[in-house]
Structure 1
Amino acid sequence: MPLNSSSPGSACRARPHRPCRQCVIAWHNLKLKIFRSMKTNYKTILIGLPVLILTFFLGWWLSPGGTPSDHDEAGEAAPEKAASTTWTCSMHPQVRQPDPGDCPICAMDLIPLTDDDDGADDGELPRLRLSDRAIALMHIQTVPVQQQAAHASIRLTGRVAIDETRLYTVAAWFGGRVDHLFADFSGVQIRRQEHLLEIYSPQLFGAQEEFLQALQASRERGGSAARSLAEGAREKLGLLGLSEAQISVIEASGEPTTHLTYYSPVDGIVMERQVSTGQYVETGTPLYTVVDLTRVWLELEAYESDLDRLRFGQTVEIKVLSYPGEVFEGRIAYIDRQIDARKRTARVRVDLPNENLRLKPGMLATGTVKVRMGAGGILADMDLAGKWISPMHPQIVKSGPGTCDVCGMDLVPVEELGYFAGAGGGTEDPLVIPATAPLFTGPRSIAYVRLPDTERPTFEAREVTLGPRLGDVYPVLAGLEAGEQVVVHGQFKIDSELQIRGRPSMMAPERGDADPQEADSAADPRDAIDRADFAAGVDTSFGDELRPLMEAYLALTEGLADDSLSAAQAGLKSFHEVLLEIGQHRLSGDAHVAWMERYESLHEITHAMAEPATIENLRSHLQALTLEVERIYVNFGAGQLPALKRAFCPMVDGDQIGTWLQRGEVVNNPYWGAAMLRCGEVFDVIGTQEEDGL
């Protein structure tokens, strides 16, 4: 058998170690042909024997113990090359072996992997080197870190409220009896100096007599003493609530009046009438409460995570449900110094003009604050650039120093309120990265950066400090520099590659010299969550906040079991409201990340269940809702919530299995209602407390 350049032997001669698989197969095939030929025709033995001998010498020559010089020379160089070669699987990169062979997971042939393919860590920052083909397959995209203006819109919700500075109480200046009410019901609109009521008072009658006598004595006797006595009597009437016009009428008539008419001190609405006809009152008794609604407040609720971007004097665009399509404007007049412990929100008050009285206290409204963030977290408001503002009344803004038209206080520069008044651009703008770039794991934020001037594409993990999200970007406070290429698509694949190689990554920052053979099991991100850290982020009061959520879920399922659409919708509405009250930013650490996932998922599910408003739509989303509720129950309510029964029905949507949570042992199937109320089985208990349900 001639050995040409394409024969297995020639291909194997260049190899520095044992014969290749192709040569071994060819050797066995040749022996098989010879023995078959010998069995078929005895005469061929004479021919086959020399061939067999030749084949024997060929195999001996190809074996590792052969003597040709080229094999010896190659063998001498083999140890050095083998020492720098690691064999891995193209489908399971966590598999690494010093020698070639088959993958222990999928049985595929291992391929060589040099140290350069893995990527080395310089210092404490994990790096990963990839080929251009790998980058294309992983769809990795990068953008430069830029210094630019960052804009965002903060959406707040609240209600229209009465301006407390325009609330007036009309009180009795003296004791007497209410004889007549002119403003005789709450809600009546009155003008300044319009009559409100008439009071009879002996005390007032005596004061008038005293004034008339002093006035007569002053006219008859003259002298400074008499005039002083008359002026004192006049002032006494003024202190009893009589106006100069009323005193002049008494002076002109010379007769005391037995009744006094009270007049409104302001334009407004009678908010409350507090007396009735015939009622006796004493000095200081409240008679009416009057409110001026030409200016109103809008009381909004802001999450504590948004407070850093809100400032006194910011313009707020307001939309009211009663007037679709219309936009009202006001300025932030007050930000509460205290956080509501239950809602985790702070009250933000906006001062609104209301000349036409269209805005009524109690109306629901939403406010939008458009924010431009500068470097260092300073807010930029170009409309206020170089202006002066009242520290008490934000609607008073002037182009220069002066005093407030309302309270007389000195105006202050807007820079003192946390704004910068530059023209924008330059160093005043922050470094920003797209919102898709960072990866979050509790308090840590990771971004992957493509390093410049490397022979092969190299990506480095950076721990970055970010400001609050502004629209589609995050401001970078530390960790990145302008111009660096940050990964915006494919970073999860990079992080996963680091995990399966046993390298430090987002979910396993402490992992470094892990055994590659154990990397497969360690690569599961759930295994990287520290349960102690997770539990530390959940305070004991959180279980109490979850109780109403579970009650609402049970009300929903029980309504479905009763075929009551109204009861089920009420349970869904209550579930959504409780979820909003708990809010997104309730926990910390790993627990915060897990709760955010559950919160967003539940938010989407409840919206999908709300429309269309049919019992079939509610039942179609019940399985997804139940799975999320179970996750919340196990991860956040363990040991704090009472036990519930887990039940299933094998006949949901034909042949699908549907599960739900319920209070008792008797099956109440929410998927079928009365049609098959007892279809299913209770198969498990969720929770640890020894109580019979919530």
Structure 2
Amino acid sequence: MNIKIPILLALGLLLAGGGYLLGRGQAGPADQPRGADQPLASIQAAPIYQCPMHPWITSDKPGDRCTICGMDLVAVGGNGAAAAADPDRVTLNAAQIAVTGVATSEVTRGALTRTLRVSGVINDDDTRHRILAARVPGRIETLQVNYVGAEVAAGAPLATVFSPEMLTAQRQYVERLKAGDVASPRAERAAARERLLELGLTEEEIRILDRTLKPTAMVNIRAPLSGTVVSRAVYEGQYVKTNDPLFEIGDFSRMWFVFDAYEPDLAWLRLGQTVEVSVPSLPGQVLTAPISFIDPNLDEQTRTARVRVTLENPERRLRYRQTAQALVSVTTPDHLLVPRAAVLQHSGRPIVYLDLGEQGGYLAREIRLGRVGDTQAEVLSGLNAGDRVVTTAALILDAQAQLAHAGAAADPHQGHRPPVTIPAAPPPPAEAAYGLLRTLAFATADGANALAADDLAAYQQQLPALRAALAAYLAGDAATARGELAAFTGTLAEASDLDAARRAFEPFSTAVADLARTRHLHHREELWIYQCPMTPVLGTARWLSRSRQLRNPFFGSAMLECGEAVNE
């Protein structure tokens, strides 16, 4: 027994040594150390593993999972697409494109259409509006019209005033008439007659006085034009002084629809453009009329100009000072057009992600925009007809590009974005964190726009980009991961109906809007913040919008214009 043990040990050592030598003899070139003359490019780089849903989460270890969604990371090759030399270029493989839902549209030439939705007030024609004041002091003896809203004809009596001053003036005139040309010069009679006209007598009443020669203290207040009594300031028995207001009359046969136009909207408005006006008191009816006046002066506080539309109202269907809504549709031909959904804002500079096609990847490109239409925008430079730009999931690409810039800024000696290690990457610079918040704000605004349009499918299509933007923002900085938005991780799930989607979106939207307001992001990026005081979840909730137009996402078409701007 003692002899067998040393023999077995010797045999094991021999087999082990033979196996080692055999392995050394079959080793390939990759196992040899790189010599001084071997180029660096000949060495196979270690593969990079990347999340298909969140491309900015990468690792150099197989088997790791995404820290956001838990998906298995997939290999993208040695230093693959995630570590491109150009941080403005984002490359995704086929699986990543399918998961993120990247879609592109072609840049074309065509007609640009813009529909302005405005609110205003129906007023009467200012050129046919009169205020009647007392011409003589006295007492109101009789009111022929004693209620507001009465229709009166031109020359109809409205009230009778007892005035001793009128009696004195009439006596002087009658005495000069009786005295004749010898005792009373013609100039004095003419002056006395002018005095009666000044005090409110009509030519007809003076002719009656010429025949009767009987002075009276009664003065009739007559309507200067046909119209409607807008206001009445006196009662019977009331004493009035000269210039005291008595009545206000407006001609409602022709009305003015007046609305305020913001500075950017003035580029679309021209005299003579047709406006479609609707009022709540005439449901289903649309009144069409041209723009008759655009005020050349801007209001210093609101930065708006008043626009007027003249509406004929022979049947008095339009009410004085009622609210009205209107549509102004404008179409201009032959522009280079890019879908609005493709345009992102970087510190006020518009960019798009250009599909490089066979070259692979998507490249961020700054463009110059002209007028912005309903669904498309005019391109002045930066794109050509036939180019394809990303319209869906552009925010996901932008989030990855922002982190690529952050990595390049953190390591200036490295020409490409370093992989984001698991579990977390170093905090990005302040500007990169701002870029992540900007991406989140625009994604939230797009979600609000879809809900305001009652389009559940469009909102669900926006959800991946919205979740990705939130995850990127929370992953960008440890401090943000502990902030208020961290509570919304996993809450933006797909809903079966609009009400459920709006209930989930309302608290999240309010938190993002408040954060954007605190960081003054809405001022830098031309976003607008609106607030509704009667929302179903919070009571008072806020949302972000790319447009000045008020469109409530929490109620949609049921109460589309419920709310107010809070852009201070």
Aligned-partner Cα distance in 1 for 2:345–2:160: 70
How far has the Cα of 1:441 moved from its partner? 5.1
How far has the Cα of 1:103 moved from its partner? 5.1
Aligned-partner Cα distance in 1 for 2:14–2:177: 155
Match of residue 176 from structure 2: 214
- The gaps in structure 2 that reach 5 residues or longer are 1-7, 67-71, 457-497, 520-536, 541-568
8 Å CA contact 1:441–1:593 kept in 2: the answer is: no
Aligned-partner Cα distance in 1 for 2:101–2:444: 30
Does 1:251 find its partner at 2:216? no
Does 1:88 find its partner at 2:48? yes
The structure carrying a bigger strand percent of its residues is 2
8 Å CA contact 2:89–2:362 kept in 1: the answer is: yes
How far has the Cα of 1:431 moved from its partner? 2.2
Does 1:449 find its partner at 2:408? no
Q: Which amino acid aligns with 1:83?
A: I
Match of residue 173 from structure 1: 135
DSSP-derived class of the 2:159 partner: strand
Superposed, 1:400-479 pairs within 5 Å as: 425=333, 429-440=334-345, 443-451=348-356, 456-467=359-370, 469-479=372-382
Match of residue 198 from structure 1: 160
Does 1:127 find its partner at 2:86? no
How far has the Cα of 1:86 moved from its partner? 4.0
Structure 1's 600 and 467: CA in aligned 2 closer, same or farther, altered over 3 A? same
Does 1:226 find its partner at 2:208? no
Q: Which amino acid aligns with 1:318?
A: V
Kindly tell me the number of residue pairs found equivalent between the two proteins: 461
How far has the Cα of 1:267 moved from its partner? 0.8
8 Å CA contact 1:442–1:591 kept in 2: the answer is: no
Aligned-partner Cα distance in 2 for 1:481–1:300: 38
Superposed, 1:466-615 pairs within 5 Å as: 466-467=369-370, 469-495=372-398, 498=401, 502=404, 513-518=416-421, 521-522=424-425, 530=433, 593=442, 596=445
Structure 1's 276 and 163: CA in aligned 2 closer, same or farther, altered over 3 A? same
Superposed, 1:51-130 pairs within 5 Å as: 60-61=21-22, 63-65=23-25, 82-83=42-43, 85-89=45-49, 91=51, 95=58, 102=62, 112-113=77-78, 119-121=84-86, 126-129=88-91
> Which whole-Å deviations, capped at 9, do the CAs of 1:161-196 have from their partners, x for residues lacking one?
344443312222222332222112222111001111
How far has the Cα of 1:257 moved from its partner? 3.1
Of 111, 119, 133, the match for 1:149: 111
Aligned-partner Cα distance in 2 for 1:155–1:321: 15
Deviates more, 1:594-603 or 1:356-365: 594-603
Q: Which amino acid aligns with 2:165?
A: Q
With normalisation by structure 1, the TM-score equals 0.54
> Which whole-Å deviations, capped at 9, do the CAs of 1:109-158 have from their partners, x for residues lacking one?
9674377896543xxx7224566776567654433322322112111223
Aligned-partner Cα distance in 1 for 2:294–2:200: 35
8 Å CA contact 1:293–1:357 kept in 2: the answer is: yes
Superposed, 1:359-378 pairs within 5 Å as: 359-372=318-331
Match of residue 480 from structure 2: none
Structure 1's 327 and 91: CA in aligned 2 closer, same or farther, altered over 3 A? closer
How far has the Cα of 1:471 moved from its partner? 1.3
Structure 1's 59 and 435: CA in aligned 2 closer, same or farther, altered over 3 A? same
> Which whole-Å deviations, capped at 9, do the CAs of 1:16-47 have from their partners, x for residues lacking one?
xxxxxxxxxxxxxxxxxxxxxxxxxxxxx9xx
8 Å CA contact 2:90–2:401 kept in 1: the answer is: yes
Structure 1's 332 and 82: CA in aligned 2 closer, same or farther, altered over 3 A? farther
Match of residue 544 from structure 1: none
8 Å CA contact 1:316–1:332 kept in 2: the answer is: no
Structure 1's 498 and 180: CA in aligned 2 closer, same or farther, altered over 3 A? closer
- Structure possessing the higher radius of gyration over alpha carbons: 1
How far has the Cα of 1:460 moved from its partner? 1.5
Aligned-partner Cα distance in 1 for 2:395–2:436: 23
Structure 1's 105 and 590: CA in aligned 2 closer, same or farther, altered over 3 A? closer
- The gaps in structure 1 that reach 5 residues or longer are 1-44, 375-424, 535-588, 608-616, 639-658, 663-694
Match of residue 244 from structure 2: 285
How far has the Cα of 1:56 moved from its partner? 8.0
8 Å CA contact 1:178–1:198 kept in 2: the answer is: yes
Aligned-partner Cα distance in 1 for 2:318–2:26: 101
Deviates more, 1:86-95 or 1:521-530: 521-530
Of 316, 335, 350, the match for 2:275: 316
Of 251, 255, 266, the match for 1:296: 255
Does 1:325 find its partner at 2:284? yes
Structure 1's 298 and 520: CA in aligned 2 closer, same or farther, altered over 3 A? farther
Aligned-partner Cα distance in 2 for 1:622–1:183: 55
Match of residue 232 from structure 2: 273
Does 1:236 find its partner at 2:139? no
DSSP-derived class of the 2:282 partner: coil
Aligned-partner Cα distance in 2 for 1:530–1:311: 43
DSSP-derived class of the 2:185 partner: helix
Deviates more, 1:159-168 or 1:491-500: 491-500
Q: Which amino acid aligns with 2:341?
A: T
Aligned-partner Cα distance in 2 for 1:260–1:179: 10
Q: Which amino acid aligns with 1:448?
A: Y
Aligned-partner Cα distance in 1 for 2:51–2:439: 31
Structure 1's 268 and 601: CA in aligned 2 closer, same or farther, altered over 3 A? same
How far has the Cα of 1:486 moved from its partner? 1.7
Aligned-partner Cα distance in 1 for 2:426–2:390: 21
Matched residues, percent identical? 27
Does 1:354 find its partner at 2:324? no
How far has the Cα of 1:352 moved from its partner? 2.7
**How large is the RMSD of aligned CA atoms in angstroms?**
5.2
> Which whole-Å deviations, capped at 9, do the CAs of 1:272-302 have from their partners, x for residues lacking one?
2222223333322222222222222334355
Structure 1's 68 and 304: CA in aligned 2 closer, same or farther, altered over 3 A? closer
8 Å CA contact 1:503–1:512 kept in 2: the answer is: no
